[in-house]
Structure 1
Amino acid sequence: MGRTEQFEGVYPRETSILVSFHWKGKRYRERVALAPTVANQRAAYRMRDEILVSIRIDKFTWDDFASYFPDSPRVKSGVAAAKPTFKAIAERWLVLAAPELAKTTYREYENVLKRYFFPLFGHRAIADIAYEDLAVYMAGLNVKSAKTFNNIMTPVRRVFDYAIKTKRVQVDITREIDSRRGQKPPPDPLDLTEMDMVLDRIRERYDPQWLNYFEFAFFTGCRPSELIALKWESVDFRRQQVRIEAARVRSIDKDTKTHTARDIDLQSRARDALLRQKAHTFLADGHVFTNPVTGERLMDTSPAVRTVWRPTLKAIGIRNRDARQTRHTFATMCLHANMNPGYISRQMGHTNARMFFEVYSKWVDADASDRERLKLDALFTRTSMSASTEGGQEPIAQHRHG
């Protein structure tokens, strides 16, 4: 049996966690309103460590005590009545949220709070921040993109949600600020001719490794973040499969977007691209695709996009698209080949088949749409021919095309 993880000074209770420490000659056992899960105990342990560091350097105050333990009887009895600031609550939430957040998400939330909210609201008591204060501030940012606006609001919503649960505020003012709805751009895949033109141009003008990279991308539908994280140990030539189990986002290695590994079947051109690439990187640092100039792993997708993809599209006169369209191109090629949509969806790593149908409905329904359109044309033709025959005139459809 596995050993239960233990955290010094942290004690799980039925619905909460006790944190124990000594300060000014006294022992304190304070309650934290978190379910006693392992992740929450680990977060409470980190919080306790912060407190001990502050005590050790003689920086821990009753204001800090109230910020960490707002429901403590010592706080309620008036020993420490200072209102916790927005910054203090936000920093506390970041500590507790860290175990459940991906590293990239944590860093993004932290950066948003530091850039947009700490300068203006950080020093203010969180309970004193009014809806109007926040609404006016957000409007003044003049953010045009719905996605950017929502990304800025997400961490501050989480902070206020935490403040509600810990009774630091009575009203969640972020609920009155609606999320914005933006139009998500539809897939913009290349057709077969355009794809061949792109690959031919890369073959003629660039290092062979870039041809291998993009041909593999076109014929697997992998996300760019998955391509740059792919290792040779995940390639099985005997089964002609590749296991996709990692991604690299904002220079950090992480799980795939869906947090689920998947095995993809190697189409012949994807397999051939890997066989060619094997001569370049198989004995190197373990990553399949590296930067041909430096020989080092691709830390992000910018070299592929900036030095190869965009110049290639521009040179052959194809409308500019982001490099993720290789993924959409794979999906639409498979649909044109009459492959099973459920199989394609699994290959691409969608969380469910419904998502695939929502994204690619235009191509899934392509043949059916043509058949339905032609039904109306056929009805019009039959009706016109019937009417013209009765009147002794040449059928309208024949007259039009004659």
Structure 2
Amino acid sequence: MGRKATTGGVRPRGDRIEVRFTWNGKQVSPTLDLRPTAANLKHAARLRATIVEEIKHGTFSFAAHFPDYKHLQQHQPESEAGVRTFAEWAKVWETLAARSLEHSTHAIYIRHLNAYWVPKFGKLRPEKISHEMVLTHLATLSKDRIDLETGRKMKGLSRKTQNNILIPMRGVFDLICKPPSRIANPIEGIDNQKIQKANPDPFAPDEVELILREMQKRFGDVMADYFEFSFFAGLRASEHIALRWEDVDLRKSTVLVRRSKVMTMEKDRTKTNVERTVELNQRAASVIQRQRARTAAMNAEVFYNPNTGAPYHDEQSQRRAWRLTLRAIGVRYRAPKECRDTSVTLALMAGANPMWVAMQHGHSVQVMMRDYAKWIPSADRGANLAAVNAAISTQAAPRKEAI
């Protein structure tokens, strides 16, 4: 069409439009698949201005604007990773990860990045972070040390915590190293540390009663009823504090567990994303009847904080009461989550069907058999052995005495 170069870094190039700009210290000239009309040239100039701003703020993606550029492979690694620091990439991952992660999980991962990785590597470009550097930093974090800024003694991270803080670090580098990037992933080959899995550590029936009596004495009926429901209904704490009256069937004595509350955030799903109906035993049902007089008129959550008169948002005040109660009576400390394990084991030792117990507590049968198997043999009260003996006695052929 014979047009001369226009101002603004764009010009006709055959039946396409060339866009010129500086990228990583070099001038590049990719083209747009647009006929070089006056309107299209103006559009290309606006696009170039956008690209310049994106480069300035570290958000430019060569592949997004010029996916068919013949030299894309040469520029993509630098454009996608080199221009951003690790801290900037961590921010990008934070934004993208919020779409797929639970709020509580997302918050924990961001806290880990900001506490352990960004202070160390934040100012570096990703290609400058090596496998050895990451391993060396993990080795440092695993040991007791003095914080150089605060002078405080820092306890070395446990193996479990080391595994946990690697999760968001892996996520950031998975994003950085996506093809066509050719940056080596420094996290590749770093395996999780082996950790010892804790077994369920439930309370004995006499301990349960001792705890509830002391809880009532120290903190009143409302707090004691909260933990009695924990022991005998076996809901997760996140499900317990989110339970609403619309989920309670007083006639059938059941509750529908279909929501949770984690780190003050309400969710319309449980931890396993499966709702379940829990049949309440007499102790749990009695708590619901007492709570009915206290909170049913508000038609909201079943359990309220007696200190604030508002629904629980987390487990902090309950944990304080729990810790002080166990200390007062001299019962070996276990976390409040063991109330749920106690509910499981009490049911198994009473002879309940393990499959029913699994359904009640939102466990898989595999988890039930793996984690709670040792409580099952004592639950049958000899019925299983009696059945085997009965079968043996009827099937065995008579044997003659040796002469």
TM range (shorter): 0.7 to 0.9
Name the CA shift for 1:230/1:368 in 2 (closer, same or farther; >3 Å).
Answer: closer
Matched residue, 2:237: 224
Matched residue, 2:60: 65
Q: Take 2:77 and 2:306, find their aligned partners in 1: how far apart are those partners? A: 61
SS at structure 2 position matched to 1:119 = helix
Q: 1:360 aligns with which of 347, 372, 376?
A: 372
Q: Take 2:299 and 2:133, find their aligned partners in 1: how far apart are those partners? A: 52
SS at structure 2 position matched to 1:25 = helix
SS at structure 2 position matched to 1:96 = helix
Matched residue, 1:165: 178
- CA displacement 1:158-177 (0-9 Å, x = unmatched): 12222232433443221222
Deviation at 1:335, TM superposition (A): 0.8
Q: 1:301 aligns with which of 292, 315, 332?
A: 315
Matched residue, 1:118: 118
Kindly name which structure, 1 or 2, has the bigger radius of gyration based on alpha carbons: 2
| One-letter code aligned to 1:101 | L
Q: 2:45 aligns with which of 25, 28, 32?
A: 25
Q: How does 1:1-400 map to 2 (within 5 A)?
A: 25-27=45-47, 61=56, 63-66=58-61, 69=64, 72=67, 73=69, 81=78, 83=82, 84-142=84-142, 143-254=156-267, 255-284=269-298, 286-307=300-321, 309-350=322-363, 352-366=364-378
SS at structure 1 position matched to 2:266 = strand
Q: Would you say the 8 A contact 2:246–2:299 is kept in 1?
A: no
Name the count of aligned residue pairs. Answer: 325
Q: Would you say the 8 A contact 1:245–1:256 is kept in 2?
A: yes
Name the CA shift for 1:362/1:61 in 2 (closer, same or farther; >3 Å).
Answer: same
Q: Take 1:71 and 1:102, find their aligned partners in 2: how far apart are those partners? A: 34
Name the CA shift for 1:283/1:23 in 2 (closer, same or farther; >3 Å).
Answer: farther
Q: Take 2:325 and 2:287, find their aligned partners in 1: how far apart are those partners? A: 19
Q: Which stretch shows the higher mean deviation, 295-304 or 196-205?
A: 196-205
| One-letter code aligned to 1:277 | Q
SS at structure 1 position matched to 2:233 = coil
| One-letter code aligned to 2:306 | P
Deviation at 1:280, TM superposition (A): 1.3
- Name the Cα RMSD after superposition: 3.1
What TM-score do you get using the length of structure 1 for normalisation?
0.73
Q: Take 1:371 and 1:277, find their aligned partners in 2: how far apart are those partners? A: 38
Structure 2 gaps, min length 5: 1-41, 143-155, 385-403
Name the CA shift for 1:306/1:68 in 2 (closer, same or farther; >3 Å).
Answer: farther
Deviation at 1:358, TM superposition (A): 1.0
Deviation at 1:24, TM superposition (A): 7.5
Matched residue, 1:40: none
Structure 1 gaps, min length 5: 1-21, 29-50, 373-402
Q: Would you say the 8 A contact 1:66–1:75 is kept in 2?
A: no
Q: Would you say the 8 A contact 1:145–1:182 is kept in 2?
A: no
What TM-score do you get using the length of structure 2 for normalisation?
0.73
Deviation at 1:367, TM superposition (A): 6.1
Deviation at 1:186, TM superposition (A): 1.4
Name the % identity.
Answer: 32
Deviation at 1:27, TM superposition (A): 4.0
Name the CA shift for 1:238/1:173 in 2 (closer, same or farther; >3 Å).
Answer: same
Q: Would you say the 8 A contact 1:314–1:320 is kept in 2?
A: yes
| One-letter code aligned to 1:357 | M
Deviation at 1:285, TM superposition (A): 6.5
